[in-house]
Chain A
């Protein structure tokens, strides 16, 4: 059974147009003009229970709008959503007891009082039984090392500490689905890693389904088995991370460190017949570009290794950052689809 089921989902907003200049401002005073904008335009996907799914896209691609619909904050313009077997915007109060939400840029904790007080209050609000709460709190506190900061007011916490507390707050009622909107934004690498590990562990132990939006692709690489990529309200990619790399990664780069100087022409001759490109780095170093799906890295290596004196070899894969940048550079969703199609 899938935890999240989305079918032909659409959300249209009315956006006010501002006319320019003093005259325009006067006109706006009496009559306004509006544009219809589809923030989310006909998307469908399913997320099975226990999966961690990354939801990525540029600013304004429609990520937050989707999350808001999935958490019951917004009602779709059309299409169906089912989360946890329920329709989020119907019977909202019952529905939200089964989910946890963290908006990275907003706090759900009370600013001026100790963290633990906020937790106590949330316990009441979510009607968590005392024993469950104790167990759960102990586990999270230990796991996220919160015991030192539990009695400090939120305003005295660092961003990293605060975010750990936000996560804890969203998990106190043991939700089966966790929505994270930019959970690692602005955090340093140590805290990011900590949070990623914690999420992974929660996911494995409790089968918590996690949907997270992020701009940090390291989050995706560390956590997600699956990525949904959004552009201008459309899904432009939905699938495994490895698959994404295979499809979009253009190739690999191999750096060689030689013991003697080899002219480029020698290297060219060695790989004759293979569609690769050589670049000279310095007297003793060169690199070769090997396009995906055309040439095997092993073929190239076997031709070079026996015939030259090599001190070091490094293989570089195109990283996800570059892939994603490449996908967005290719422009609109349609174009992107074409590129995907031609790659297959």
Chain B
């Protein structure tokens, strides 16, 4: 167990170094997030106009929500679906299977390395700058920060699980490009990144509550903006844990099926 663990740490480290190697990518990444936060900040201000609250959000909660959900996205976002699909298509997944580690966990670790890189080098400095420029309100209690950190780690897990599932579809269809694109749209739209879920019409809210996407952005960002307080925080966290466990089942099943296919047909 322990040597495996150090191997995982090394995968995270290597991915971290790879990210560092592309400096222009790093700079432009910061700017992308700054622009997105800035633009949505002003957009929401204009939308609120003279209104004090809209869709259960105050202006201050809304601007904070925008900032924190984009910063969280920097951490949980990755392209694992595309990487896995490409490795399946060019056959290198078969080579990966000969290596002495579980492929999917290996991929998750890579994603984690990438996410940690962005968390430390985009999100933290970015959040400092955003706090200085814009009117937002950070939580003051230590335990809120702590539970938020745990929750965005679960955001990462759930988002990566969805990516693994979409990526693995390439085992069964010749081209899963369409599915990957749909997934991307769905995550940005239904996770509450672009519009908080409380703004959606009632029927849509009802549907979204039964989908895993809200666990990625809406729940942790709601905790951070203090819209969800007290015991409700634990409810939100439990929803994340349930989704994490639930999504593990189809991943396990599909992976077993895919492996069998790979063994029988030789890729």
Chain A interface residues (CB < 8 Å from chain B): 18, 22, 25-26, 28-30
Q: How far is the CA of A28 from the CA of B24 in the complex (A)?
A: 11
Taken residue by residue from 21 to 48, chain B's Cβ proximity to chain A (1 for < 8 Å, 0 otherwise) reads as 1010010000000000000000000000
Contact with A along B184-203 (1 / 0, CB 8 A): 00000000000000000000
A25 to B117, CA, bound (A): 13
Shortest beta-carbon distance from B235 to chain A in Å? 40
Q: In the bound complex, how far is the Cα of B20 from the Cα of A219, in angstroms? A: 44
Residue contacts A-B, CB under 8 angstroms, 11 given: A22-B13, A22-B17, A22-B20, A25-B17, A25-B20, A25-B21, A26-B20, A28-B23, A29-B20, A29-B23, A29-B26
| A22 CA to B20 CA, complexed, in Å | 9
- Chain B residues with Cβ below 8 Å from A18 are 21
9 closest Cβ pairs, A-B complex = A25-B20, A29-B23, A25-B17, A29-B20, A25-B21, A29-B26, A22-B17, A26-B20, A28-B23
Nearest to B23 among chain A residues (CB) is A29
A18, A25, A28, A30: which has the most chain B beta carbons within 10 Å? A25
Closest to A26 in B: B20
- B26 to A, closest residue via Cβ: A29
In whole Å, how far is A159's beta carbon from the nearest beta carbon of chain B? 16
Summarize A's interface: helix, strand, loop or mixed.
helix
Q: How far is the CB of A30 from chain B (nearest CB, A)?
A: 7
- Expressed in whole angstroms, the Cα–Cα distance for A26 and B21 within the complex equals 8
Closest residue of chain A to B20, judged by CB? A25
Q: 5 extra interchain contacts, Cβ-Cβ under 8 A, other than A25-B20, A25-B21, A28-B23?
A: A22-B17, A25-B17, A26-B20, A28-B20, A29-B23
List of B residues within 8 angstroms of A30 by Cβ? 23
Residue of A nearest to B121 (CB): A29
Q: Which residues of B contact A22 (CB under 8 A)?
A: 13, 16-17, 20
A18 to B20, CA, bound (A): 11
CA distance A260 to B26 in the complex (A): 80
In angstroms, Cα B26 to Cα A221, docked, is 52
Task: Say yes or no: B21 contacts A28, CB within 8 Å.
Answer: yes
Residue from A22, A28, A29 whose CB has the most chain B CB atoms within 10 Å: A29
Cα A30 to Cα B21 with chains together (Å): 11
**CA gap between A22 and B17 in the complex, in Å:** 7
Give CA–CA (A22, B13) in the complex, Å: 9
**Nearest neighbor of A32 in chain B, beta-carbon distance:** B23
Task: Give Cα A139 to B26, complex, Å.
Answer: 55
Most chain-A Cβ atoms within 10 A of its Cβ — which of B13, B16, B17, B26? B17
Q: Residues of A contacting B16 with CB < 8 Å?
A: 22
Least CB separation from B24: chain A residue: A29
- Bound Cα distance from A106 to B20, whole angstroms: 31
- Smallest CB gap from B13: residue in A: A22
Of all chain A residues, which has the CB nearest B17? A25
B229-264 residues with Cβ-Cβ distance < 8 A to A are none
Q: Which chain B positions have C-beta within 8 A of A28? A: 20-21, 23
- Please give the distance in Å from B47's CB to the nearest CB on chain A: 38
Chain A residues contacting B21 (CB-CB under 8 Å) are 18, 25, 28
Inter-chain CA distance A25–B26, complex, in Å, is 12
Rounded to whole Å, the gap between the CB of A112 and the closest CB of chain B is 13
Collect the chain A residues with CB atoms within 8 Å of residue B23's CB.
28-30
Q: How far is the CA of A30 from the CA of B23 in the complex (A)?
A: 8
> A247 vs B35: C-alpha distance in the bound complex, in angstroms?
68
Cα–Cα, bound, A191→B21 (Å): 43
A339 to chain B, nearest CB (A): 42
Bound-state Cα–Cα, A25 to B17, Å: 7
CA distance A268 to B21 in the complex (A): 66
Interchain CA distance A39-B17 in the complex, whole Å: 29
